[in-house]
Every structure is written in C-alpha cells, then in structure tokens.
Structure 1
Amino acid sequence: MTSADSSPLTTHVLNTGDGVPAAKMDVSLHRLESKLMIWNMLSVGTTNEDGRCSGLVSREAFSPGMYKLRFETGSYWERMGQNSFYPYVEVVFTITETEQRFHLPLLMSRFSYSTYRGS
C-alpha cells in the first residue's frame, strides 16, 4: 500500500443498515489486463474505524484502464454475527484521466448496496 496522501483512489464503506462505518472490511484493488482478459490484483487493504481505505495505489502505478474494487462484505457481516445475501461486492470502473482523484464509496446493508463516484 502507498500513503493515503499520495493515493489517487480512496474508498469509504458505510453500513447503512446500522448507520455506522464498516470498519475492518478487507478491500482489494484489481486492474484488467485487456489483452489477456485477466484481473491482476494490485493491492489489498482494510477499512479503518471510520470505514475508510486509502493508499491502495500510487499515482505512478495508476494508469488508464479498467479497475475493480472488491469488498469482502460476507466476512464483515459474519464478524457482526449476521447473515448477508452478498458474499462480496465488486465495483468495476474505467479510469481515463489519471491526474484526477477518485473516491468510490460503498453504501451497504445485508441485502443491498449502492456506489457512486464521490469527490
């Protein structure tokens, strides 16, 4: 992982069912190798007590292409002593302008989720 200040990509996970940040959730970042159609894992991280995970990629390693963030929601809910419908959530997105900063929040409950490009 890279430092949070230099990372062009951040995420924030909120447990909207309970109205709290989703702390200690494992997150991984992958990039599609388009010629091979294979996802390569770039990094892994864990959300902090505020549900935030930054530092997943350095500015130098962030090139145009297709990426995905994978959130391990099933193991999060198991730790909370609850079942969930989704064992994981994958958010796929395309980066064309790498000089920008990207924030991709995940809002989730045990039976639903949504995401958006934040600022």
Structure 2
Amino acid sequence: MSTATTASVSTHILDTSVGRPAGGVAVALSAREGSGAPWADLGGSRTDSDGRCKDLPTLPEGTTHVRLDFKTEAYFAQGHHDRGAHSDHQQAEAQQDAPRVRDSGAFFPEVAITFAVSPGEHFHVPLLLNPFGYSVYRGS
C-alpha cells in the first residue's frame, strides 16, 4: 500500500523454460534516497507457489531507487526448471543441444534489478527467467 509520499513494489517470477511460476526463490529488497546515497537493506521475501512475493517490506519515505536481488542459484540447483511437460525423449534431445552449466552452478546465480521509483506510485517488476537468460519489465 502506498501513500502520497512513498512508493510500493511487488514482483513475481515466471520460469519461461517450463512455462510455470518459479516458487521458493529468495528475493532481497534494498532502497536508497538519490543515486549517490548508500543502499539500505530492507529485508526480503520468498516467492510462493504462484511465483509471487506478497510480503515485501515497505519502502521508506524518500526512496528514489530500488534494487530487487533474486537468488536464483538455489532454484536452478534444485532442478525446478527441468520439470516441464515434455516427454523424456524430448527432454533428452533438448539437453543434448543445451549449453552446459559450469560446475559452480547456475549461469546466473543471482539477478539484481535496479530501478527508479516515484512517490505515490506502485511498481510491479516481473522477472521472466530461464537457465541461460532473463528479462524484466514494468508491469501493472
């Protein structure tokens, strides 16, 4: 909920490799007042089974920039992105042609998104995620 002096933020994650929400991903929220100010860690949340964070911390008054840090490494390490509707044969063919992830884990172990906010507005920032790419946009 926002007031005339604060902005509010929400997010969700869709795993585009399986066409489903990405549940269980930790999301940290930081804010700052002005581009030269230090970041203040506000806490975080975890996506639910619908890929949504319904309890992100409230932004402090005067916030001008927000950073969402999605901790994607654990999600990919658990193999959630492999649970598609493909047959075993289709998955084997896709994996044969897919690039290999390094031994260190996910190609993108975290995704940090920084954006500007305005007082009194709500900012919904969805993350479209797959093992080798991601995209974000300002939603509604």
Asked whether 1:30 is paired with 2:35, we answer no
TM score, norm. by length of structure 2: 0.71
8 Å contact from structure 1 (residues 104, 117) kept in 2: yes
Aligned match of 2:111:
89
1:66 aligns with 2:65: yes
Q: C-alpha offsets along residues 33-57 of structure 1, whole Å, 9 cap, x if unaligned?
A: 6587432210210000000003313
Q: Distance in 2 between matches of 1:36 and 1:100?
A: 22
**Number of residue pairs matched?**
112
Query: Which amino acid is 2:42 matched to?
Result: L
Which residue does 2:122 correspond to in 1?
101
Partner Cα distance (1:16, 1:35) in 2: 32
Q: Which residue of 2 aligns with 1:113?
A: 134
Question: C-alpha displacement at 1:62, in angstroms?
Answer: 4.7
Identify the structure with the greater strand proportion: 1
My pick for the range that moved more, 14-23 or 76-85, is: 76-85
Corresponding residue SS for 2:109:
coil
CA RMSD of aligned residues (A): 2.2
Q: Percent identity?
A: 35
Distance in 2 of aligned mates of 1:91 and 1:35? 15
Report the Cα distance in structure 1 between the residues aligned to 2:35 and 2:121, rounded to whole angstroms: 25
CA separation of 1:109 and 1:63: change in aligned 2, threshold 3 A: same
Q: Runs of at least 4 residues of structure 1 off by over 4 A?
A: 33-37
Matches of 2:70 and 2:26 in 1, distance apart? 6
